[in-house]
Amino acid sequence: MASTEALLSVSGLAYRYGKAAALRGVSLEIRPGEVVALLGANGAGKSTLINLVSGFLKPAAGDIRMQGQAIGGMPPYQVFRRGVVQVSQGRDLFPAMTVRDNLELGAVSRQDDISTDLARVYDYFPRLRERLDQRVATLSGGEQQMVAIGRALMGRPRVLLLDEPSAGLAPRFVDEIGRIMGVLKDGGATMMIVEQNLALALGHADRYYILRDGALAGAGVPSDLGDDYAAVARNYYL
């Protein structure tokens, strides 16, 4: 069960692209062992928010804290060392390198033995075990997403940020990503899922936040929204 105290918190977060406000006073939190879905239409500010949390952008205003310690404006490597790990929509893999090499890069800041973590990733994604020495460029989009998530897990994240993990994937790989989300949740992982696929996101989330035009438009538990995802999309995405 998730703790009542926030592991990661955002308060009054704001960001601008030139004169355009991308985020306007957004506040949210994630508790240990909790899965939070961050929903909203394209351009609502979802990716901007997690890029701010990850250190790839610096906030114009507001506060970002990890276990009460301010991390807003820190460079990504420092945020990573504090346990916040993002799997970006673009995956950011090294296509000329092998699956094994890409996975091991996720543990580059660690000094301990990583063999147990590698074995766990292979258990999560048996397909990757079969392709260890294969160049990432030769993999399908779904397989590359497995590598990206596996690499993030090699860093032993305290908070895992997934940015559109199902985007552009064939249905069978969407199902596979959903399966691993369930496995991670059952194992007590703390995650924020940014996702257009409402069934996928809300099927695993303990709570949700909805962004619209850079501001918080709704928050609650998935049962609040019912199972008519088309209606949710009409209300918040259009």
- What stretch of H or E contains 203? helix 198-204
Q: Tell me which residue of 198, 231, 236, 202 sits closest to 217, measured CA to CA.
A: 236
Q: What DSSP assignment string belongs to 69-129?
A: EE-TT--HHHHHHTTEEEE-TT----TTSBHHHHHHHTTTT--S--HHHHHHHHHH-HHHH
- Are residues 165 and 146 in contact, defined by beta-carbon separation less than 8 angstroms? no
Secondary structure of residue 202 in the 3-state scheme: helix
Q: How far apart, in whole angstroms, are the C-alpha atoms of residue 203 and residue 191? A: 13
pTM flag (> 0.85): yes
pLDDT at 2: 54
pLDDT for res 114: 86
Q: What is the pLDDT of residue 154?
A: 93
pLDDT tens for each residue of 90-123? 778 999 999 999 999 988 877 778 889 999 999 9
Joined together, the tokens standing for residue 207 give 């709570």
- How many residues would you count in the chain? 238
What integer pLDDT is reported at residue 19 of this predicted model?
87
Which letter does DSSP use for residue 68 in this model? T
Structure tokens at 97: 């390198």
Task: State residue 219's pLDDT score.
Answer: 94
Topology of the domain covering 8-236: Rossmann fold (3.40.50)
Residue spans of the chain under pLDDT 50: 1
